[in-house]
A = this chain, B = another copy of it.
């Protein structure tokens, strides 16, 4: 093979760093969901071979960890509001909004401990909101409870959202009218309470459902805080 047949060597490889890798991965996930993220595709976006990434991460799971940590920056508000309740509410709502912007986050939420810098910062913010308002153990239980609530609520919301997308129908309409399976099941009479709920319940939007439950949980937390000493 002569020189003329051989292509010029590729230009010096673009320098890589985790930031660029994670950004590429997030872009892919935003476009096509988590399953669209493959090391080959991420590398391709950066004009690199797949193996190149293994200098920066040692496993695909680590890439996911980095992605989660990265979007946590969107969760922390610029300034922490004063009231503990407002602070926790804001963190919960911003987590939800972030998950709506990056739906793949719902698949990862709660899946692994969030130990990256931004994850720790979010945890810090949660704990700081309640700092001094009760003994530490109560504060920890409170943070765990609120976080567990919104993790679960967000997962369910995104799950429903996806289901609605594939059928093109709202969950309610779908159950009531054209979801043949559920309709048939309800018709069996084996699920009276469920049938009543589907039939008589108001089809409340996801945000209302989320905030309603959130306020309930925050109420529960409020009861446990030590009353401000008189």
Question: Which residues of B lie under 8 Å from residue A109 when comparing CB positions?
Answer: 155
Shortest beta-carbon distance, A108 to chain B, in Å?
10
B117 touches A185 (CB 8 A): yes
B217 touches A123 (CB 8 A): no
Identity of the chain B residue whose Cβ is nearest the Cβ of A110 in the assembled complex: B155
A217 touches B145 (CB 8 A): yes
Binds B, one of A11-19, A40-48, A71-79, A156-164: A156-164
**Could you give, for residues 112-142 of chain A, a 1 whenever the CB lies within 8 Å of some chain B CB and a 0 otherwise?**
1101010011011001100100001101110
A191 touches B121 (CB 8 A): yes
Question: Which residues of B lie under 8 Å from residue A165 when comparing CB positions?
Answer: none
Q: Which of B124, B150, B194 contacts A152 (CB 8 A)?
A: B150
Instruction: Give A110 to B109 CA distance when docked, in angstroms.
Output: 11
- Asked whether any CB of chain B lies closer than 8 Å to the CB of A64, the reply is no
A136 touches B200 (CB 8 A): yes
Question: Which residues of B lie under 8 Å from residue A144 when comparing CB positions?
Answer: 153, 156, 209, 213
Instruction: Give A5 to B115 CA distance when docked, in angstroms.
Output: 60
Question: Which residues of B lie under 8 Å from residue A123 when comparing CB positions?
Answer: 191, 194
Instruction: Give A113 to B182 CA distance when docked, in angstroms.
Output: 12
- Asked whether any CB of chain B lies closer than 8 Å to the CB of A221, the reply is yes
Question: Which residues of B lie under 8 Å from residue A197 when comparing CB positions?
Answer: 127, 136, 139-140
Question: Which residues of B lie under 8 Å from residue A113 when comparing CB positions?
Answer: 159-160, 163, 171
B204 touches A136 (CB 8 A): no
- Asked whether any CB of chain B lies closer than 8 Å to the CB of A2, the reply is no
A residues 163-201 touching B (CB-CB < 8 Å): 163, 171, 179, 181-182, 185, 190-194, 196-197, 200-201
Instruction: Give A216 to B217 CA distance when docked, in angstroms.
Output: 7
Identity of the chain B residue whose Cβ is nearest the Cβ of A199 in the assembled complex: B136
Identity of the chain B residue whose Cβ is nearest the Cβ of A141 in the assembled complex: B212
In order of increasing CB-CB distance, the 4 nearest A-B pairs are A151-B152, A148-B152, A145-B213, A152-B152
